[in-house]
Structure 1
Amino acid sequence: MAADRISKLLEDIRLLNPDRFELVQELREIILGLDSSVSEEVKYGGFLFSADQPFCGVFSYAKHISLEFGTGASLPDKFNVLEGKGNIRRHIKLLSAQDISEKHVREYLVLALKASAKP
């Protein structure tokens, strides 16, 4: 039951840190609103979002939220906010809801979703 696992993880985050919970909820709303084909599951200790294939994940850590892109190294980074040095993955660290607009999160999400689409 994916919905039960999602609810449980959200409740755990809310109990640990209400501010991080609000940030996760805002991200989830944006991601799920990108397209009707976007689905969500709990995996790897966070929320994994897929359309044709997985395109991002949201993970809550002690001091920040990480928006992870499994193939982020291939995304254009015109705002220079993607972090990571690996060959494939990149992430954006978020400390507050303000970071969502300041770090152009929606634009990166759209790019990641488009990159994940099957031709």
Structure 2
Amino acid sequence: MKALKYDANGLLTGVAQDADSGQVLMVAMMNAEAVAATLQTGKAHFWSRSRKKLWMKGETSGNILDVQAVKVDCDGDALLLLVKTRGPACHTGNVSCFYTDLDEDYVKPIV
């Protein structure tokens, strides 16, 4: 029997990717409840570690991610959600959360 592999906190990584363009839109954590809600509703749900609660992407903004398919990685510890967007995926208003280039300001020296 196949099973998802959640970490010690009961979470796995969920990556939302635009089903048409292939652009990576966002990454968030999912628990079993978020996975079940996503599959049942066809809308992307995640687990908020800071608020410690289930949330549907777009529940307040209206920028919902309609899930077209869900793929499991080879280790069973990450999910790829192929989605159609209803507005920007990032809470900043950007299409994707990945709009900033990594530079030395982000990298702290290893001591």
Q: Same fold (TM over 0.5)?
A: no
Q: As a proportion of its length, which structure holds more strand?
A: 2
TM-score, normalisation: structure 2: 0.30
- Compare the two structures and name the one with the higher helix fraction: 1
Q: What TM-score does the superposition give when structure 1 sets the normalisation length?
A: 0.29
